[in-house]
Chains A and B, each alone.
Chain A
Amino acid sequence: MAKSNKPIIWGTFAAGGTLTAFVTPVLMVLTLLAATGHLPEMLGYDKLHAFAAGWFGKLVIFVILFLSLWSQAHRLRCTFYDFGARADTLVAITVYALAGVGSIATLVYLARL
């Protein structure tokens, strides 16, 4: 049996899982504050735009969105299987395509800033 190509996806899953474990809760706290009317200073248009327009900001945003998308897409694939959906190839193509579209969209939006 040939060696699997799973590592290419699993690499992003492991990196993305670690990243989401470290930063997603605090990001949620920040947007929750915004959602309850206590907008954090940094999430105002001017400050956030200035951050996202710089190369460092772009890099941070891209890494967070790219790894979050691919890690959660991969886990979603496994979750489908665990819930009994056996059309694994179809599920895999769909979730990875979504992650791919999201990654390209991230690049496009970052380029427009």
Chain B
Amino acid sequence: MSRRPYVREVPRTTWFFKHPRYMRYMAREVTCIFIGIYTVILLVGLARLSEGPAQYEGFLEALRQPGSVLFHLLALAFSLYNTFTWFNVAPKALPVQVGDEHWPDSVVSGGHYVVWVGLSLFIRFWAGVL
């Protein structure tokens, strides 16, 4: 009797269709495309700000294009998904043990959400939006 193990190759470009949890993972990973493009938009805004009022006004004008509004809506959805996935797994990377017990994951995650809501409200308030 001879051994002849059969190897099943994982398809490199389509493996994530195999299971919903892989699709959720890829959805999380592609948030970087939207957050990355958004960061570049912020960088361009900073550049225009440094160039003077007229240039900065031009940047705000460009922001008001329909394509920009659409991008913002999409990017916001992906960004929120990134936030939720990040907070939900935060207790795995940073578990908190006090005495003989670990804090429940829900407490660590919940703490992140509370800080997030507070910080977001603060930044809105700071920006003059109520």
Contact = CB atoms under 8 A, between A and B. Distances in A.
B103 interface: no
B108 interface: no
A100 interface: no
A68 B116 CA distance: 17
B72 A27 contact: no
B127 A45 contact: no
Contacts, number: 149
A24 B79 contact: yes
Interface residues of B, number: 53
Contacts of A31: 41-42, 45, 63, 72
Contact of B75 (A28, A34, A49): A28
A23 interface: yes
Contacts of A20: 35, 79, 82
Interface in A74-94: 75-76, 78-79, 82-84, 86
Residue among A22, A37, A105, A113 with the highest chain B CB neighbour number at 10 A: A22
A42 B47 CA distance: 17
Given A84-B13, A86-B12, A72 B115 contact: no
Main secondary structure of the interface of B (DSSP, over half): helix
Given A20-B79, A28-B79, A102 B43 contact: yes
B42 A25 contact: no
B16 to A, nearest CB: 7
Contact of B72 (A28, A49, A83): A28
Interface of A: 14, 17-18, 20-37, 39-43, 45, 48-49, 52, 61, 64-65, 68-69, 71-73, 75-76, 78-79, 82-84, 86, 102, 105-106, 109-110, 112-113
